[in-house]
Structure 1
Amino acid sequence: MRWRRRSDTSTKETAMRGFALSILLFVAPACSAAVALDSLSLPSGFHIEVYADAVPNARELVRGANGTVFVGSRDAGKVYALTDAGHEGKPARVRVVASGLQMPSGITFHDGDLYIGAVSRILVLRDIEQHLDDPPKPIVVTNKLPDKTHHGWKFLAFGPDGRLYVPTGAPCNVCKPGKDFAKLISMKADGSDWRDVALGIRNSVGFDWQPGTQQLWFTDNGRDELGDDLPSDELNRITRTGEHFGFPYCHQGDTLDPEFGKGKSCKDYTPPVLKLGAHVASLGMRFYTGTMFPAAYRGAAIIAEHGSWNRSKKSGYRVMTVRLDGSRVLGYEPLIDGFQHDEIAQGRPADVLVMPDGALLVSDDLVGAVYRVSYAAPMPSAKK
């Protein structure tokens, strides 16, 4: 199940969503990080382990200057701090540094402070790593973002220009969203000087700046209710300010919307760099900047695919590698697969984060865990 609300609010649809949520709440407690790990597959030489457990609804990941890993949640309404990972072979210690917030899935760290996206508000915890046991009260940076909760949760990041980048998803499955939605904006760290960065973005929950080019790339979730195989989620690249990526008129760069695409042409909008697959729910993405993984992974985009909720056969439920040569795609292949078996979800990856040693952290909001992926070259087989 991909947990995105739909624009149809009929009694039937509401009942179906309620039933799906009841299944999610029933299944989640029965899952464990150990169960998920037993079913996962990775390329030769890669190893996966539990970095932290007891992190309910773990979503966006960010690392503080002193090594604390912070984790936002969507449904839990909390922000967590993970420390002492691997101490005596145990998972990281988990603290709650903020609670009672509205969908605080998006977090980012800047100049010692932790920024939190909570739908209409951006909050900040000042000097947070010095106060993990007595976290400060959140300070409001801005409270002027749209208050719609449909696609209202955030993914936050500070760019190379020192500005805070914030998406505002479309408040619907598909609609004419209005000037305040379906776009990516940036602002100063104090919440002032808002600027539109890109338009026509249905719901981006992951973006990063490509090393070398410093261009911003982002994932975008395609609309629902066009069947199992349309439209694809997207990996996109911004080449100019104000660029329009098609929503709600054109999907996946080549498919006009049956309602809103009338009289439009897909040629007028920027197509994706890569179609990621229909309903895979592409969320967090980062460029791999470490040196631990083999050379083919360096500079690749790594994407957490949360997994479908509305296909007759599930798609996604994996972490994917997009190997690149500049803007040219060389390959699209799994790094971690097996978060679902026999149409039953055992985990749902939500974000990825490259650590200073080159290992990769992966959050799982179904199990409530964070994993660490590392690499060691396989030993050559002995000659007989």
Structure 2
Amino acid sequence: MKGTKIILGFFALAVLVFSAYAVLRTVPVNNCGENGTELACIELPPGFSIDYYIENVEGARSMALSPNGTLFVGSRSEGKVYAILDRNADNKADDVIVLAEGLDMPNGVAFMNESLYVAEISRVIRYDDIEARLENPPEPVVVNADFPSDSSHGWKYIKFGPDGKLYVPVGMPCNVCNLEEEDERYGTIMRMEPDGSQLEIFARGIRNTVGFAWHPETEELWFTDNGRDWLGDDLPPDELNRAPEPGMHFGFPYCHAGDISDPEFGELRNCSEFTAPEIKLGPHVAALGMVFYTGTMFPEEYRNQVFIAEHGSWNRKTPIGYRVTLVRLENGTPISYEPFADGWLQGFADWGRPVDVLVMPDGALLVSDDKNNAVYRISYS
């Protein structure tokens, strides 16, 4: 009986500590500036400013821009896909159209040949001639439904590569597991023709990537990858990886971040067998969307550099992330990793969570936020 009381006491204490932590994480943000708006909390390098591009976009996640300037935005649990319009051409959108709802975690969006591609958990669908039918979208065409149905790490980021193929990742449906022999699609980046044919694996050993882009000069694929949980607050780091050719393996679940052997699966393989990351990012920062900056608005030093949206840690004692970071490259090799836009996390309370980044034709940088339900515009003057 005494032992039972002790166990119950520890359990009650754990519940109390967790509850207090949860309260801290939901405290309203303090006014960081004289104008009393939350955007005053965001710290940027000198000369940069941030404003709302659009608000009230529920669960704004991945973004894609059409040549005509329509911004398409996916969501996750909300099940919606949006078209966002800047009708006045004043760099501030004024119209949000819900194109689709009731979809299965439609996180990923991509645009090609007048069609909007949307990635659900187990399939990719397509809305043809979408910009001519924003108010009355057509029924979607199923492009390919040959993907696993696991919801854990099943939401997808999609993008067309320089080869004209659509790249579609398949995350591992676990924190850490070894499913390569059970189903070779898990833990990969796949690619296929725009019509859904010739689906193949491009890269392996990837726990969960929700962001990738191609270097504007070399056309090599770079991607973020989220490290596993429960190895402590500081292990392993998230990763920024480079895949210049098909067939590369990046280590998961045997090896993390190039040199950290997994406690459970590490004995099966050696870290030297796999491709190490180009640079290690922060531990548990949840690095998601990334982009190479190709605009001309920002100073020249930012040209072809990497911006990463960090969604923020969820199980770290001291939370980190909740920001946009910058990876500086020199001759195609990362030389530094630093905050660029920071302040969505105030102490233990986060009021926003960046998801994706996109370079606009005028050179401004858009940032989506699925907690604050918004898309921001970062500009330089």
Q: What TM-score does the superposition give when structure 1 sets the normalisation length?
A: 0.89
Question: Matches of 1:261 and 1:361 in 2, distance apart?
Answer: 39
Q: How does 1:141-180 map to 2 (within 5 A)?
A: 141-178=143-180, 179-180=184-185
Question: Matches of 1:224 and 1:47 in 2, distance apart?
Answer: 34
> What is the DSSP-based 3-state SS (H/G/I as helix, E as strand, rest coil) of the residue aligned with 1:267?
helix
1:240: Cα distance to partner?
Answer: 2.2
Cα deviations by residue, 1:187-207 (Å, 9 ceiling, x for unpaired): 011111011110000000000
- Residue of 55, 60, 63 corresponding to 1:53: 55
Q: What residue identity is the alignment partner of 2:281?
A: L
Corresponding residue for residue 193 of structure 1? 198
Question: Matches of 1:291 and 1:145 in 2, distance apart?
Answer: 39
1:38: Cα distance to partner?
Answer: 2.0
- Structure 2 residue 213 is matched with structure 1 residue 211: no
1:142: Cα distance to partner?
Answer: 1.2
1:177: Cα distance to partner?
Answer: 2.3
Corresponding residue for residue 281 of structure 1? 286
Cα deviations by residue, 1:154-212 (Å, 9 ceiling, x for unpaired): 00000111100000000100000231200001001111101111000000000000011
Corresponding residue for residue 317 of structure 1? 322
Q: After alignment, is 327-336 or 215-224 more displaced?
A: 327-336
> What is the DSSP-based 3-state SS (H/G/I as helix, E as strand, rest coil) of the residue aligned with 2:334?
strand
> What is the DSSP-based 3-state SS (H/G/I as helix, E as strand, rest coil) of the residue aligned with 2:157?
coil
1:264: Cα distance to partner?
Answer: 2.1
Query: Unpaired segments of 5 or more residues in structure 2?
Result: 1-14
Alignment check: 8 A CA contact 1:273 1:327 kept: no
Question: Matches of 1:317 and 1:337 in 2, distance apart?
Answer: 7
1:49: Cα distance to partner?
Answer: 0.6
Corresponding residue for residue 365 of structure 1? 370
> What is the DSSP-based 3-state SS (H/G/I as helix, E as strand, rest coil) of the residue aligned with 1:129?
helix
Query: Unpaired segments of 5 or more residues in structure 1?
Result: 1-14, 377-384
Alignment check: 8 A CA contact 2:27 2:349 kept: no
- Structure 2 residue 313 is matched with structure 1 residue 308: yes
> What is the DSSP-based 3-state SS (H/G/I as helix, E as strand, rest coil) of the residue aligned with 1:56?
coil
Q: What residue identity is the alignment partner of 1:339?
A: W
- Residue of 230, 233, 239 corresponding to 2:238: 233
1:332: Cα distance to partner?
Answer: 1.6
Q: How does 1:11-90 map to 2 (within 5 A)?
A: 35-84=37-86
**Aligned residues between the structures:** 359
Of structures 1 and 2, the one with the larger relative CO (CA 8 A, separation 6+) is 1
Question: Matches of 1:115 and 1:137 in 2, distance apart?
Answer: 12
Q: What residue identity is the alignment partner of 2:173?
A: P
Question: Matches of 1:268 and 1:223 in 2, distance apart?
Answer: 19
Alignment check: 8 A CA contact 2:123 2:147 kept: yes
Corresponding residue for residue 116 of structure 1? 118
Q: After alignment, is 250-259 or 80-89 more displaced?
A: 80-89
Corresponding residue for residue 135 of structure 1? 137
- Aligned identity (percent) is 53
Distance 1:25 1:105, change over 3 A: farther
Alignment check: 8 A CA contact 1:206 1:218 kept: yes
Q: After alignment, is 317-326 or 97-106 more displaced?
A: 317-326
Alignment check: 8 A CA contact 1:51 1:85 kept: no
Distance 1:171 1:335, change over 3 A: same
Q: What TM-score does the superposition give when structure 2 sets the normalisation length?
A: 0.89
Larger radius of gyration: 2
Alignment check: 8 A CA contact 1:171 1:177 kept: no
1:144: Cα distance to partner?
Answer: 1.4
Distance 1:24 1:374, change over 3 A: same
Cα deviations by residue, 1:314-368 (Å, 9 ceiling, x for unpaired): 1111101111123311322222001100110011000000011100100011000
> What is the DSSP-based 3-state SS (H/G/I as helix, E as strand, rest coil) of the residue aligned with 1:73?
coil
Question: Matches of 1:245 and 1:90 in 2, distance apart?
Answer: 40
Corresponding residue for residue 4 of structure 1? none
- Structure 2 residue 356 is matched with structure 1 residue 334: no
Q: After alignment, is 161-170 or 326-335 more displaced?
A: 326-335
Distance 1:184 1:23, change over 3 A: farther
Question: Matches of 1:89 and 1:207 in 2, distance apart?
Answer: 25
RMSD: 2.5
Corresponding residue for residue 348 of structure 2? 343
Q: What residue identity is the alignment partner of 1:318?
A: R
Cα deviations by residue, 1:33-54 (Å, 9 ceiling, x for unpaired): x843121110000011100001
> What is the DSSP-based 3-state SS (H/G/I as helix, E as strand, rest coil) of the residue aligned with 1:319?
strand
Question: Matches of 2:104 and 2:118 in 1, distance apart?
Answer: 10
Question: Matches of 1:194 and 1:48 in 2, distance apart?
Answer: 40
Corresponding residue for residue 275 of structure 2? 270
Question: Matches of 1:190 and 1:150 in 2, distance apart?
Answer: 26
1:91: Cα distance to partner?
Answer: 4.0
Alignment check: 8 A CA contact 1:52 1:85 kept: no
Alignment check: 8 A CA contact 1:152 1:168 kept: yes
Distance 1:135 1:195, change over 3 A: same
